[in-house]
Structure 1
Amino acid sequence: MLAVIWVAKLLWRRYQQKQSKILAANWNFSDIDQMDGLAFEKFCGVLLKNLGCSQIRLTPTVGDYGIDVLAVTKSGRNIGLQCKRYRNQVGIRAIQEAYSGKAFYRLEEVYVVTNSHFTVAARKMALRNDVQLVDREKLLKWLKAAQRNAAKEIGK
């Protein structure tokens, strides 16, 4: 009986992975711009997975210490993302939150990811505090890379 349950879980996990790859292959900015904050965080997690990261998890929606998504890169680096799905520019507060989350979670790299852009002050603060910025253009590059990876996986 335990073997049947184990096989069922394994098959379900594979099905979910394939579904996330299919979903990733079809994303576009009009979908992203319509997401709420939590949906954008989940999107970023799936995006990281399709970029080759592992051990991806969302932090609690309240008391997240400035990090929304935690992951491990292909090279084994612990990273965190502060996700900001905004209509306007992202300011320094997001950089401050990511910086404090880096220490709290003992991360090697932190990113602030947005579907928008950053203010000049935010860019200056990020540079000074080693916080990586992913604006709309860089997010598009990540998205295209994830879609290429997803398409390869779906074709297997």
Structure 2
Amino acid sequence: MAVPARDRRTTRRPRRFELRATALYFTLLAVILALVGAAARTAFAAAVHRPAWAVALVLMGVSAVMAGCREKRRKSAARIARRSAQALEDATQTAVEALDAASPAAAVALAPAGAGAEATVLLPETVPEVPEVPEVPEVLEVPEVPEVLEVLEVPEVLEVPAAPVEIAYEALDPDEFEQAVAELCRRDGCLDVDVVGGAGDLGADVVARTPEGRLVVIQCKRYCDDNRVGSQDLQRFGGTCFTVHGADVAVVVTTSDFTAPALDYAEQCGIVCVDGPQLQRWQEGTGPRPWEGQPWQAEGTP
């Protein structure tokens, strides 16, 4: 009985997938494609610059194609691609095996011959880490010192004049009354104010000089309301105020009033008479100062 012959088919062991081999395979494929592309660009550039060479290359290519077609055994494009891929894969595998054999990390040192000998793997020496160089800090820029702003001058506080204090001149004694009249002269800007009243004063109780430089001679009469300054008092003062004291302005100040003959004499001699109400207005600042003239006249008196 004849035993049918079995079809012997060679079974190829599938190769296991290796990442490194696959990567190298595609790398070589990319290099080949790059070379083919470079050759194509070179041919195109040559065809542009030298058309005669391009025609020659085309004729040679056509002749090669026709010669290939005449061969009895024609090779299909698919078979050529498979063979190219197979050759590229084999070249990749060979390169991988060569790299594995040459790698110092995979070198194996065999132990001395003998039972139980173990293989010792030689590892590469550890490369010491290079210490990092500390970064040099940049030079800090010193900020410019701003200019000191000029301090604004604070305006001085305006002094508010104090309200005049009412003084009861009738309650003062003669000396205090003279001091009070001298203080009024100082308040209104007079200079060299002096109280000279007393025995032998020749009718001058207060002497002062106005801001304009005129000499003022004042006689003070601190009388009661029922005691008026008469013409005799004015005559005694009028005989010395101008000739003896050299007054520019002669003034008689009283806390009471003047008689009519006294006012007439004062008007003739140019003596300024200041009675009680007029003294009060001078003290309050509502009336004129005595050296500013003789603005007031005596009203009807008996």
Corresponding letter in the other structure for 1:103: T
- Higher alpha-carbon Rg: 2
Distance in 1 between residues matched to 2:272 and 2:254, nearest whole Å: 11
Q: Aligned pair 1:135/2:135, yes or no? A: no
Identity level (%):
30
1:46 aligns with 2:186: no
* 1:32 maps to 2:32: no
Conservation of the 8 A alpha-carbon contact between 1:51 and 1:145: no
Q: Secondary structure at the match of 1:25?
A: coil
Residue matched to 2:202: 65
Distance 1:26 1:54 in 2: 22
**Whole-angstrom CA distance in 2 between matches of 1:141 and 1:74:** 21
Alignment: residue pair count: 123
Match of 1:109 in 2: 249
Moved over 4 A (4+): none
Q: What secondary structure does 2:218 align onto? A: strand
Partner of 1:90 in structure 2? 229
Relative contact order, higher structure (CA 8 A, sep 6+)? 1
- Structure 1 runs not aligned, ≥5 long: 1-20, 147-156
Q: Which residue of 1 aligns with 2:211?
A: 74
Q: What is aligned with 2:192?
A: 55
The one-letter code matched in structure 1 to 2:214 is R
Matches for 1:115-130 after TM superposition, within 5 Å? 115-130=255-270
Name whichever structure is richer in strand by fraction.
1
Counterparts of 1:94 and 1:126 in 2: how far apart (Å)?
Answer: 10
TM-score, scaled to structure 1:
0.73
> For structure 2, which runs of at least 5 residues remain unmatched after alignment?
1-160, 287-302
Amino acid at match of 2:221: K
Q: CA deviation at 1:94?
A: 2.5
- Give yes or no for contact 1:67–1:97 (8 Å, CA) kept in 2: no
Paired residue type of 2:205: D
User: How many Å separate the matches in 1 of 2:175 and 2:233?
Assistant: 16
